């Protein structure tokens, strides 16, 4: 806690990872403004009610290089419906009193007005942190400094291909938690978890004291339970976005409830 009593984003993230009472924290991804602004807020509320411990809220972008077909299509639909980063920040502000919200936002949106301006807007909307999937360690200094000033955690990503030197540097500069990308590829549901996942989580753990959350390719309760036994957090994206598109908040609540139950059982 800071002197004023307001927790920083990193502190709120740490509290969420410490107090979930499950095998691992559950962090669903929702595309802001998909299928509509109102429905994505309702989906976020349903996710929290069903057991989400943090929310990763996507800012739709024109050229999402890290995303597979489901999230890409959801972002394109949101943009076509006129959703702006400002709209997503309003959704963030509505969810933030109940759950730490980490914005998933591409670099060009963060840099458009300068990273200081974007970090200040995100902090004012109650965001706890940013995940910028196309901002690797080598390019991150300016944005990290802006986030630190604003009280936001710039979450770093590690990939299976990251060299030991890079894992060490990423871990040393990480804020909030470290996002371990489970596989080489874009976001999306996969039938099987990659076999080398536990090795990846161990390599990341050796480089940081922060919680390690795993994302990409996790969609089923069984996969979530397996990952929950290895890591501190489980991130589920495309499955949740698909549910939001197919059945709105009710469907999202049902998917999150099933994933949360699997993490409690485990």
Partner 1 sequence: MREREFGPYGGRFVPETLIPALEELERAWIEAAADEAFTAELGELLRDYVGRPSPLYRARRLSERLGQDVYLKREDLNHTGAHKINNALGQTLLARRMGKRRIIAETGAGQHGVATATACALMDLECVVYMGAEDMRRQRPNVERMELLGARVESVEAGARTLKEAVSAAIRDWVANSGTTHYVIGSAVGPAPYPAMVRDLQRTIGDELREQVLTAVGRLPDRVIACVGGGSNSIGAFVPFALDADVELIGVEAAGEGVATGRHSAPLATGARGVLHGAFTAVLQDADGQVLEAHSISAGLDYPGAGPEHAWLRDEGRVSYVAVEDDAAVDAFKLLSRLEGIIPALEPSHALAWLLANPNPGGVDALVLSGRGDKDLAEVLAR
Question: Tokens standing for 184?
Answer: 């080489």
d(CA 175, CA 197): 22
d(CA 67, CA 65): 6
Q: Is 71 in the site for partner 1 (CB under 8 A)?
A: no
Residue from 42, 55, 92, 157 in contact with partner 1 (CB under 8 A): 157
Judge contact between 240 and 31, C-beta under 8 A: no
Q: Is 247 in the site for partner 1 (CB under 8 A)?
A: no
Of 37-56, binders to partner 1 (CB under 8 A) are none
* Contact string 183-222 vs partner 1 (x = CB under 8 A): -xxx------------------------------------
Task: Say which residues have a Cβ less than 8 Å from residue 80's Cβ, sequence separation at least 6.
Answer: none
d(CA 161, CA 239): 25
Judge contact between 212 and 166, C-beta under 8 A: no
148 catalytic, yes or no?
no
DSSP notation for 31-42: ETTSS-HHHHHH
Of 101-120, binders to partner 1 (CB under 8 A) are 106-113
Task: Say which residues have a Cβ less than 8 Å from residue 114's Cβ, sequence separation at least 6.
Answer: 146
142 catalytic, yes or no?
no
Q: Is 135 in the site for partner 1 (CB under 8 A)?
A: yes
Q: Is 164 in the site for partner 1 (CB under 8 A)?
A: no
The residue annotated as part of the active site, out of 67, 80, 139, 196, is: 67
Judge contact between 211 and 193, C-beta under 8 A: no
Q: Residue 9 forms beta bridges with which residues?
A: none
Binding part of the chain for partner 1, among 26-34, 93-101, 154-162, 234-242 by CB under 8 A, reads 154-162
Binding part of the chain for partner 1, among 29-37, 90-98, 178-186, 206-214 by CB under 8 A, reads 178-186
Between 3 and 191, whose beta carbon lies closer to partner 1? 191
Give the active site residues: 56, 67
Binding residues vs partner 1 (CB under 8 A)? 61-66, 68, 72, 76, 79, 84-86, 106-113, 133-139, 141-142, 157-163, 166, 170, 181, 184-186
């Amino acid at each position: 806690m800071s002197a004023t009593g307001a927790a920083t984003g990193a502190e709120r993230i740490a509290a969420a990872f410490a107090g979930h009472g499950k095998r691992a924290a559950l962090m669903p991804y929702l595309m802001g403004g998909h299928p509509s602004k109102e429905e994505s807020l309702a989906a976020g509320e349903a996710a929290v009610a069903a057991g989400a411990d943090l929310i990763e809220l996507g800012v739709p972008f024109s050229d999402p290089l890290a995303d597979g077909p489901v999230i890409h299509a959801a972002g394109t639909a949101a943009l076509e419906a006129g959703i702006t980063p400002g709209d997503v920040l309003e959704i963030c502000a509505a969810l933030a009193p109940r759950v730490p919200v980490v914005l998933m936002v591409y670099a060009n949106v963060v840099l458009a007005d300068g990273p200081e301006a974007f970090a200040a807007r995100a902090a004012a909307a109650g965001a706890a942190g940013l995940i910028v999937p196309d901002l690797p360690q080598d390019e991150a200094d300016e944005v990290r400094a802006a986030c630190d000033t604003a009280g936001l955690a710039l979450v770093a990503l590690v990939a299976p291909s990251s060299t030991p030197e890079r894992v060490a540097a990423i871990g040393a500069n990480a804020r909030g938690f470290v996002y371990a990308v489970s596989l080489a590829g874009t976001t999306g549901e996969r039938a099987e978890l990659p076999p080398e996942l536990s090795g990846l989580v161990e390599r990341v753990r050796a480089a940081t004291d922060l919680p390690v959350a795993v994302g990409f390719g996790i969609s089923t309760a069984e996969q979530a339970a397996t990952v929950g036994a290895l890591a501190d957090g489980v991130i589920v994206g495309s499955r949740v976005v698909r549910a939001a598109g197919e059945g709105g908040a009710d469907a999202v609540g049902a998917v999150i409830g099933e994933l949360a139950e699997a993490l409690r059982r485990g």
